[in-house]
Chain A
């Protein structure tokens, strides 16, 4: 992402020049007031040393900036390269990192070109900060300052590790990679049946034909794809920064999006937050991962299309889709929304990302409060399971495959 800008330079005397000026003016003033010529002589070297400050200096300089990438993942090291075109001046660069940006190298460098490394520890849209370019003439009598704002970067949540996928038992009639329960032209063997005219010759199972004395053909499962809608609950962000519920939700959703898109499924996202929801319709392809993450990053922008899921268009929640929810299940309205979706016939799957508890003091009342709170949380999860919604807990450390393991070995049956 290269850029170039011509910037005005603000020139002013350097500290060295100011010191020499003090000596020169002080000497001359005392010489005049005290009528002592030796003080005029004392001022002479300073005046001579200040002579080159009269040399003309450039009013504008061209600075070229190149940020290696405008999108990076949490903890990934990015670089910004800076070059000033005026090679005659001594240049010194000082990086002032923006909020949420950590320098990964020295924050000051000398020379006409400089490279700074930085890292963003937590997801979000971040302003990289600014760079101050300090220019000196050869004698360091004047210094010019130029402040350059660096571009913004999008820091993506680091995707959770997920290789396996939850697959619905009833898949839409669309070509894909998941073996369906109906017979078709896939590659997964399902059985043997008697030959009927029209069957392909290459499907004949010769050992079975020999045993039974009549032509037998292999049958295969059809291969279908499914629609996945990832729902990220952004209403409650609890836990330490960096491993809060929202952090885990976004990382889990990013990992799930990659896993399902690798399996040729159509994946969409809905970010549920205070005052509405932001959504992206399911679609295919590698670019969809970045679209999904961009949608999630913009979730806290305050822009919303609808108040509840019932107001979302059909494109956001296609019928028959598998809804994978990442939520701490702390907002009762969100839990009610999940129940409503389940009653409307959607296959739901909840990944519980709550890893924090309310802080308590060593008092009986606090201990009792926490116990009641835990029971409430257990009741919420129990009520969802009773509705046929699997709820698994994920701590953010382990791969997502582990909590999902009981549901990835066989197709998920969602009763209406």
Chain B
């Protein structure tokens, strides 16, 4: 494999790592030390790093015969099994969401995080499957545009002033946003 092919294979992995790191930084600023924010930050960093490592080591083969291996080889295999077995990206997404909710409401900032998380997950998918990025994004362009619009709608709902005092008014806004999203998901024509 020449250098160009190697770079082509490494680019999606690097992009996934960069987007994951950007999401963590985006949501961690300004630093919060309330609740489980610190723990969520640590977990999200571990999740993104381990996910990137999993993608980087995806091509390392598992030996067929695992008898009579050295202790170092056994440790390496156990490390690979843990790396490949746990859903690191899901853990990272959940931790990032939890970290974001620790901050006071900042609708457009959260919308930006949404865009970043979707980009991160798509980059991981491209790196994992080896699918051509341009083709995949072109195919899903309409859906992604619609999704971006809905993120904006969600942020807009969050910026609406409450109709009345109390929790029920906020819940009403959430339900309204969810209804718009559900309607969009149902109305959007099914893709081939």
A interface residues (Cβ-Cβ under 8 A, vs B): 15-16, 18-20, 22-23, 26-28, 30-32, 34-49, 51-52, 54-55, 97, 138-140
Whole-angstrom distance between the Cβ of B16 and the nearest chain A Cβ: 11
A54 contact set on B, CB distance < 8 A = 190
Q: Is B14 an interface residue (CB 8 A)?
A: no
B151 A44 Cβ-Cβ under 8 A = yes
Instruction: Knowing A16-B129, A30-B97, A35-B171, say if A41 contacts B190 (CB, 8 Å).
Output: no
B177 contact set on A, CB distance < 8 A = 31, 37, 40-41
Whole-angstrom distance between the Cβ of B40 and the nearest chain A Cβ: 12
A37 B143 Cβ-Cβ under 8 A = no
A-B contact pairs, 10 of them (CB 8 A): A19-B87, A26-B94, A30-B97, A39-B110, A41-B153, A42-B117, A43-B181, A45-B147, A45-B148, A140-B125
Q: Is B12 an interface residue (CB 8 A)?
A: no
A36 B101 Cβ-Cβ under 8 A = yes
Q: Is B15 an interface residue (CB 8 A)?
A: no
Stretch in B1-9, B74-82, B154-162 with 4+ CB within 8 Å of A: B154-162
A43 contact set on B, CB distance < 8 A = 114, 181
A48 contact set on B, CB distance < 8 A = 143, 146-147, 150, 184-185, 188
B151 contact set on A, CB distance < 8 A = 41-42, 44-45
A45 B114 Cβ-Cβ under 8 A = yes
Q: Is B72 an interface residue (CB 8 A)?
A: no
Whole-angstrom distance between the Cβ of A132 and the nearest chain B Cβ: 14
A28 contact set on B, CB distance < 8 A = 178
Of all chain B residues, which has the CB nearest A32? B174
Closest 10 CB pairs of A and B: A41-B154, A45-B147, A44-B150, A42-B114, A35-B170, A37-B157, A37-B177, A38-B158, A40-B177, A38-B107
Of all chain B residues, which has the CB nearest A43? B181
Whole-angstrom distance between the Cβ of B37 and the nearest chain A Cβ: 14
Instruction: Knowing A19-B87, A45-B144, say if A40 contacts B171 (CB, 8 Å).
Output: no
Q: Is B25 an interface residue (CB 8 A)?
A: no
Complex: A19 Cα to B110 Cα, angstroms: 19
A35 B174 Cβ-Cβ under 8 A = yes
- Highest count of chain B CB atoms <10 Å: which of A19, A27, A51: A19
- Known contacts A23-B93, A49-B140, then 4 further A-B pairs from the complex at CB < 8 Å, ordered by chain A residue: A22-B94, A36-B170, A45-B143, A47-B182
- Highest count of chain A CB atoms <10 Å: which of B148, B157, B192: B157
Whole-angstrom distance between the Cβ of B91 and the nearest chain A Cβ: 9
B190 A52 Cβ-Cβ under 8 A = yes
Q: Is B21 an interface residue (CB 8 A)?
A: no
- Highest count of chain A CB atoms <10 Å: which of B111, B113, B128, B181: B181
Number of A-B contacts (CB under 8 A): 155
Whole-angstrom distance between the Cβ of A41 and the nearest chain B Cβ: 2
Q: Which of A31, A38, A46, A140 contacts B129 (CB 8 A)?
A: A140
Q: Mask for B79-100, Cβ within 8 A of A = 1, else 0?
A: 0000000010110011001101
B167 A35 Cβ-Cβ under 8 A = yes
A26 B97 Cβ-Cβ under 8 A = yes
A22 B167 Cβ-Cβ under 8 A = no
Whole-angstrom distance between the Cβ of B27 and the nearest chain A Cβ: 11
Instruction: Knowing A44-B150, A48-B185, say if A37 contacts B125 (CB, 8 Å).
Output: no
Q: Is B152 an interface residue (CB 8 A)?
A: yes
Of all chain A residues, which has the CB nearest B169? A35
B111 contact set on A, CB distance < 8 A = 38, 41-42
B64 contact set on A, CB distance < 8 A = 97
A34 B121 Cβ-Cβ under 8 A = no
B154 contact set on A, CB distance < 8 A = 31, 37-42, 44
A51 B191 Cβ-Cβ under 8 A = yes
A52 B121 Cβ-Cβ under 8 A = no
Q: Is B105 an interface residue (CB 8 A)?
A: yes
A38 B105 Cβ-Cβ under 8 A = yes
Whole-angstrom distance between the Cβ of B65 and the nearest chain A Cβ: 10
Q: Is B22 an interface residue (CB 8 A)?
A: no
Whole-angstrom distance between the Cβ of A83 and the nearest chain B Cβ: 22
Complex: A32 Cα to B101 Cα, angstroms: 12
B174 A36 Cβ-Cβ under 8 A = yes
Complex: A35 Cα to B169 Cα, angstroms: 9
Complex: A55 Cα to B190 Cα, angstroms: 9
Instruction: Knowing A16-B121, A41-B152, say if A47 contacts B181 (CB, 8 Å).
Output: yes
Q: Is B32 an interface residue (CB 8 A)?
A: no
A41 B90 Cβ-Cβ under 8 A = no
Complex: A41 Cα to B91 Cα, angstroms: 20
Instruction: Knowing A37-B158, A39-B110, say if A51 contacts B148 (CB, 8 Å).
Output: no
A44 contact set on B, CB distance < 8 A = 114, 147, 150-151, 153-154, 181, 184-185
- Highest count of chain B CB atoms <10 Å: which of A37, A44, A97, A139: A37
B157 contact set on A, CB distance < 8 A = 37-38, 40-41
Complex: A19 Cα to B131 Cα, angstroms: 17
